[in-house]
Amino acid sequence: AQKVTQAQTEISVVEKEDVTLDCVYETRDTTYYLFWYKQPPSGELVFLIRRNSFDEQNEISGRYSWNFQKSTSSFNFTITASQVVDSAVYFCARADRGSTLGRLYFGRGTQLTVWP
Amino acid sequence: NAGVTQTPKFQVLKTGQSMTLQCAQDMNHNSMYWYRQDPGMGLRLIYYSASEGTTDKGEVPNGYNVSRLNKREFSLRLESAAPSQTSVYFCASSGLATSSYEQYFGPGTRLTVT
């Protein structure tokens, strides 16, 4: 299977620090979608963002920003001025437009702990 | 509008017992999915369904069966549970054409097989 790699298994920061979660993907398709999901300690999976492969503009939403670079096959996620409530497991995922049913391929996740 | 619901939330089974995990969505989505989540493994796709009457195997289908009962409901059955099936199970749905593939997840079922 074409992979999604999240090399950072665990990251710990102190509140108000900035933190970047890395995501590197593999695909043979020219059109695809990238996603980030958050899984807080309560366990549910929360959709954060979708990015299309043909749109390389970076996106900012409040303290969250995403940097998509096709040249390096990366889709990194930065949290600015982190807060304790940001503590969660974050998953990066990919879907290929040409694939059956748009199935998602997930990375193994990065556990982010923000200390007060 | 409940989104994706799953029952039960928790279950303990003995080896060899059977059970069915239920999933329903009220978003009029065409596609539905079952994943399992194990520590350090991320989410792995068990089965998926494009529409009523169609199902396909994902990455880890062995030991499971599914039924797409109608557009809303997609159930996962363990015929003879094994300790290796101890996991958290998530159901998800996707509208595909309107949502560009993002999937919305249920709250999960935590299953322990002893």
Q: Give tens-digit pLDDT for A8-52.
A: 999 999 999 999 999 999 988 888 889 999 999 999 999 999 888
Residues in chain B with CB shorter than 8 Å from the CB of A108 are: 40-42
Q: Give the separation between CA A47 and CA A37, rounded to whole angstroms.
A: 5
Which residues in chain B are contacts of A47 at CB distance < 8 A? 102-105
DSSP A35: E
Amino acid A102: pLDDT: 67
* Substitution target from A101, A103, A106, A108 for chain B, most B beta carbons within 10 A: A101
Q: Which phi and psi (to 5°) does residue B57 adopt?
A: -75, 145
Question: Which H/E stretch holds residue B66?
Answer: strand B64-68
> Mind listing the pLDDT tens digit for each residue in A88-99?
999 999 987 665
Say yes or no to pLDDT of B101 above 80: no
Nearest Cβ partner for A106 among B42, B94, B104: B42
Q: Scanning the structure block, which residue is given the tokens 């040409």?
A: A98
A100 — phi, psi (to 5°)?
A: -65, 125
Pairing of strands A64-69, A59-61: antiparallel
Please tell me chain B's helix, strand, coil percentages from 3-state DSSP, rounded to the nearest 5: 5, 50, 45
Beta bridge partners, A47, equal A37
- The pLDDT of residue A59 is 82
Q: Which residue bears the tokens 């749905």?
A: B93
Asked whether the beta carbons of residue B102 and residue A50 sit closer than 8 angstroms, the reply is: yes
Q: Pick from A47, A95, A108: which is nearest to B41 by CB?
A: A108
Q: Do A103 and B48 touch (CB under 8 A)?
A: yes
Chain B, residues 20-39, CB within 8 A of chain A, namely: 31, 33
Contact across the interface for B48 and A43, Cβ inside 8 Å: no
* CB-CB contact of B90 with B3 (8 Å): no
What are the Cα distances from residue A84, in Å, to A15, A17, A54, A66, B14? 6, 11, 34, 20, 38
**pLDDT for position B30:** 87
The CA-CA-CA angle for residues B18, B74, B81, to 5°, reads 20
Mean predicted confidence (pLDDT) in B56-79 = 95
Mean pLDDT confidence for B49-58: 88
Candidates B31, B33, B101: best to mutate against A (most CBs of A within 10 A) is B101
| Distance of alpha carbon A115 from alpha carbon A15, whole angstroms | 6
